[in-house]
Amino acid sequence: MKRWLLLLVLPIVAVLVCRCTPGKENGQADSHSFTVESSTPAELPAKDARISLEVKGDVFFTGLLARGEGDRYTGVKSLSGNGNKSFVLDIPDNTASSAVSYRISLSTTENVAVPSYQFDYTQAAGGSGQIPDPGTDPDPDTEQREVNVVVTEETCYVSKYSSVLDGSYLGFDIAPRETGFEWGISSSGLDNVLQSEDIAYEGDGTFSALLEGLSDGTTYYYRAYVVVWTGGRGVYYYGDILSFTTEKDSDTPEPPSGESNQPGWYELPVMNISASGNYKIDALNSDLYYAWHMCSGGEKGPGGKTARNYTVCFSAGKHCPVWVAAPRHSMYNGSANRSNAYRQDAKIPTDLQYKSKETGGGCNKGHMLGSAERTSSSATNRDVFFYTNIAPQLSAGFNTGGGGWNTLEDWVDAQVCSDTLYVIIGCYFDTFTDGYGYTVSPMTISFGGRNDVGFPTMFYYILMRTKNGSSGKALKDCITSEIKCAAFVRSHTNSLKGQKVSSREMMSVSDLEKITGFTYFPNVPNAPKDNFKASDWGL
């Protein structure tokens, strides 16, 4: 961060123009300029100093700070107003036992710090003030103390799903109000904030914070920040942008190099996976992107390997998930609180996703795989808040207490069993009429900070499990008569509020395949996709 020492002397009026480029990142931003005029002689009694300041540019003039003993600045007078205005400051009497100098505090209208501009108008103790000769360079042997500097440190710890971020600060004469880190999955998109809980003091200090819920094998960017409260407002100071890459999880499955190119989890539909740079796309449909997330909390599944969280198929054109597939089991239940950690998913191109957690179109943020279904750890819960797991759902009568979707979700919760319930939660975007006679037509809405999001016309659940529920058998070891599967389909309408689950919304998995065009459960060839019995599900 740049610092400026303003030195000049004139017999009657001293004029200084300073041009500099402070800003949000590494000193790069729009130029700011200001003029300082002294309407007083170079030598004057301490009590008679008057400084006239004219500020030009997009800056806020927040105050004048006096510097006394111990390298500490204290506020003298708070100011307000933006650029292209003039201010007059009456320098108060110097009652200190030593000389006092002054510093001007500025910040941009974006609430981002501009370095404090210091001028060496000095009042001697009980004596006279003087503006030094501008031709006199500072003593090269005098150490120039850095002030208001923030340093982003290299991270000292990186794992598969977490990292410890470190920062430090130098020369802050006011104790920071807040310290922390901005982070994201691109250097131009540091949209997430992680606040440090370390206590900050004036002068120099360090701080750190644990960042959890990351994806394995992914590069993240971050920078440290410090907030100082001065002139009645928070002023931000930033360090450089650095990056780190999480470790690759050896348990994360990669598609086998065979004709099927299909991961083997039971719940997955057919995925024609092809690589596209760092992303996975459908080889037959370039609109579809794939990603899977393991449990970031380190939960272990059978064989001691990291358990999977969920897999998502995401539409580039609709900017919305098409389906999410996941296992449901008691091992995912715990005491973790709802994290509300809404953010973009590094495994899907971020320019295709929502830009913010803003809602619209009469919808709220509807989880495909719900937060309450992943409470085994805070880190694992955070990952169900990726935007790729969120679809717009009507808030009045669909995704609300007693709403059409919430009612179905509650019913599905009761189907979880010790043998594992395998679920696919999906969206549909063409005109659809459900078993209750409700028809919904497609449209485009504003949602998530975008104005081009597809409005789902229908949502569905596909469920598959053993009929017994506690047989102790894997599905691959079961015969067809030991397995049950069915689809539960509801139009996306508020009219279904209060509608209990019934056989009217059920259909065979193969019939839903004809509607959506996806092929479900290829890894369970014995699954009875062509038929179902409502009575098998208590309906």
Bin 448: left if φ > 0, else alpha if -120 < ψ < 50, else beta.
left
Q: Phi, psi at residue 405, to the nearest 5°? A: -80, -40
Q: Which two tokens stand for residue 515?
A: 């509607």
Reading the chain (539 residues) residue by residue, the pLDDT tens digits are 333 323 222 222 333 333 333 333 333 333 334 444 444 334 333 444 444 555 444 444 444 444 444 444 444 444 444 444 444 444 555 444 445 555 554 444 334 334 344 444 444 444 333 333 333 444 444 444 567 889 999 887 888 778 889 998 988 888 898 999 999 888 888 888 888 888 888 888 889 888 877 877 889 999 999 999 887 788 889 999 999 998 876 655 554 433 456 788 999 999 999 888 778 999 999 999 999 998 988 898 877 888 999 999 999 999 999 999 999 999 999 999 999 989 898 889 989 999 999 999 999 999 999 999 999 999 899 999 999 999 999 999 999 999 999 999 999 999 999 999 999 999 999 999 999 999 999 999 999 999 999 999 999 999 999 999 999 999 999 999 999 999 999 999 999 999 999 999 999 999 999 999 999 999 999 999 999 999 999 99
CB 116 within 8 A of CB 102: no
Predicted structure pTM score? 0.64
Q: Coil, strand, or helix at residue 147? A: coil
CB 331 within 8 A of CB 308: no
Residue 264 pLDDT: 87
Residue 387 pLDDT: 96
CA 534 to chain centre: 43
Which positions ≥6 away from 392 have C-beta within 8 Å? 320, 359, 360, 361, 363, 364, 365, 366, 445, 447, 448, 453, 455, 456
The single-letter DSSP state of residue 288 is E
Q: How many CA atoms lie within 13 A of 256 on its CB side?
A: 7
Tell me how far CA of residue 322 lies from CA of 111, 138, 453, 531, in angstroms.
39, 66, 12, 24
Residue 205 pLDDT: 87
CB 38 within 8 A of CB 28: no
Which positions ≥6 away from 316 have C-beta within 8 Å? 286, 287, 288, 289, 349, 352
The CA angle 83-88-90, to the nearest 5 degrees, is 145
Q: Phi, psi at residue 475, to the nearest 5°? A: -60, -35
The single-letter DSSP state of residue 79 is -
Residue located via tokens 């505090």: 105
Which positions ≥6 away from 150 have C-beta within 8 Å? 1, 167, 168, 169, 224, 225, 226, 237, 238, 239
> How far is the C-alpha of 319 from the C-alpha of 398, rounded, in Å?
20
Residue among 167, 159, 279 nearest 220 (CA): 159
Domains in the chain, ordered, with CATH? 4-130 (2.60.40), 149-245 (2.60.40.10), 273-537 (3.40.570.10)
Residue 490 pLDDT: 98
Residue 214 pLDDT: 80
Residues in the chain, total: 539
Residue 313 pLDDT: 97
